[in-house]
Amino acid sequence: MKRYILIAIMAFIGWGTTTTLFGQKFSVAYVDMQYILKNLPMYETANEQLNMISKRWQKEIDALQQELQILTTNYQTEQIFLSAEMKQRREDEILQKEQQLLELKRTYFGQDGEWYKKRESLLKPIQDEIYTAIQDIANEKRYDVVKDRSAEPSLIYMSSKLDISDQVLEKLGAK
């Protein structure tokens, strides 16, 4: 078992453009996804759209939060003058507003919220294009493994000749 783990680890470590493992050679290349995304105008446009939507939804949430704050402050100020029935009605109104606020936050920014769905619909096609470009270059240049440099925190040094990020951008028409 340890042998297979060692083989798997060694297979993914790229010491140069070619890694030899038990007599087999693996060609390795790297891309920097952050660099690629930063240099794609369509990604910047999608990000701007997401930011605009996010700000609009956040304004709605902030407005509702402010309404809740006003209701709570008014209730606390007037509480001693209210009858038991009025207190209950105000407390119910505050609870309802809190529930409304939580539901709005969940709807917009929750785990399956609108923001994540919108992000998926805007960014997934871009990611697919990048993946296809990387795959095409890997097939053309016969790379066995292409790794994301920005996702490799343990990567201390990498030769620039292994970085195919600019080729990916060129293939996508960004440079």
Residue-wise pLDDT for 92-105, tens only, equals: 999 999 999 999 99
Which long-range contacts does 139-143 make (Cβ < 8 Å, 24+ apart)?
141/27, 141/29, 142/27, 143/27, 143/28, 143/29
Residues in the chain: 175
Q: Which residues pair with 24 in a beta bridge?
A: 21
Cα 25 from Cα 129, distance rounded (Å): 28
Q: Can you give the pTM of this predicted structure?
A: 0.66
CATH code for the structural domain at 2-39+129-171: 3.30.910
Cα 115 from Cα 62, distance rounded (Å): 16
Residue 24 has a pLDDT of 65
Q: Scanning the structure block, which residue is given the tokens 């087999």?
A: 24
**Domains of the chain by residue range:** 2-39+129-171, 49-119
CA angle 135, 35, 57 (to 5 degrees): 105
Residue 171 has a pLDDT of 87
Q: Which residues of the chain have pLDDT under 50?
A: 2-8, 10-11, 13-20
